[in-house]
């Protein structure tokens, strides 16, 4: 079934933002393969959720829906039911998809949901995470850095410049990991982002 789910999911990503395209989904799958090797998890549920977790992202980016996780969970149910998945599998996948979103209030209650959350967040830090951050900012016309609007004066939830977003979100993800394996991978990626942010600030100040 997983191969069929992957093929269905792929069709939702034509023209997707580079930040949430099919390459992102494939990276999340590779990270999940690393994480799941350390745990007892239902891989059918896990990988169905991975392939489907961002099927609604392009719609949200276009302003057609408000919550890609909620819409994606409903769409996942339709796809999985069509493919003959059991009701309990559908429900488990839906929970993973709802729980993966950074900004919602759904805590992962299963190992599969924890692994998806960790894999998705790991792709948002490190070198890849930095690239995605500034790619997103470029797409939406956000300022890279404004020395007159430093982090301490920025009370927005996500950061009003991309450098502030690095501090507000990317550097918070290490502490949102649910698995020991995820925390171990996140530590190295976190350090890379912290070093990048520190060097960026020195370069922007003309110190390097």
The CATH number corresponding to 1-106 among 3.40.50.410, 1.10.3210.10, 3.30.930.10, 3.40.47.10 equals: 1.10.3210.10
Tell me, what's the pLDDT at 54? 97
Tell me, what's the pLDDT at 140? 86
**Under CATH, what is the fold of the domain 124-208?**
Methane Monooxygenase Hydroxylase; Chain G, domain 1 (1.20.58)
Q: Which residues in 83-129 belong to E strands, given as ranges?
A: none
Tell me, what's the pLDDT at 44? 97
Tell me, what's the pLDDT at 5? 96
Neighbours of 145 (CB within 10 A): 15
User: Which residue ranges of the chain lie beneath pLDDT 70?
Assistant: 151-157, 159, 208
Return residue ranges of the chain for CATH 1.20.58.1910: 124-208
Residue with tokens 């961002």: 54
Whole-number CA gyration radius for the chain? 18
Residue with tokens 């927005």: 156
∠ CA(203), CA(207), CA(208), 5° rounding?
Answer: 60
Tell me, what's the pLDDT at 175? 95
């Amino acid at each position: 079934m997983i191969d069929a789910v992957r093929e269905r999911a792929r069709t939702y990503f034509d023209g997707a933002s580079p930040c949430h395209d099919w390459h992102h989904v494939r990276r999340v799958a590779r990270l999940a393969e690393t994480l799941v090797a350390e745990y007892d998890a239902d891989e059918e549920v896990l990988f169905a959720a991975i392939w489907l977790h961002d099927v609604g992202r392009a719609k949200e980016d276009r302003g057609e829906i408000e919550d890609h996780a909620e819409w994606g969970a409903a769409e996942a149910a339709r796809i999985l039911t069509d493919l003959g998945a059991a009701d309990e599998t559908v429900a488990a996948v839906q929970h993973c998809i709802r729980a993966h979103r950074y900004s919602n209030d759904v805590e992962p209650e299963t190992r599969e949901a924890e692994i998806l959350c960790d894999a998705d967040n790991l792709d948002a830090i490190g070198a890849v995470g930095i690239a995605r951050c500034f790619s997103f900012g470029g797409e939406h016309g956000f300022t890279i850095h404004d020395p007159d609007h430093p982090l301490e004066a920025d009370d927005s939830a996500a950061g009003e410049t991309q450098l502030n977003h690095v501090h507000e979100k990317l550097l918070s993800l290490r502490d949102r990991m649910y698995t020991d394996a995820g925390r171990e991978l996140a530590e190295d990626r976190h350090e890379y982002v912290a070093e990048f942010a520190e060097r960026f600030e020195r370069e922007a100040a003309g110190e390097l």
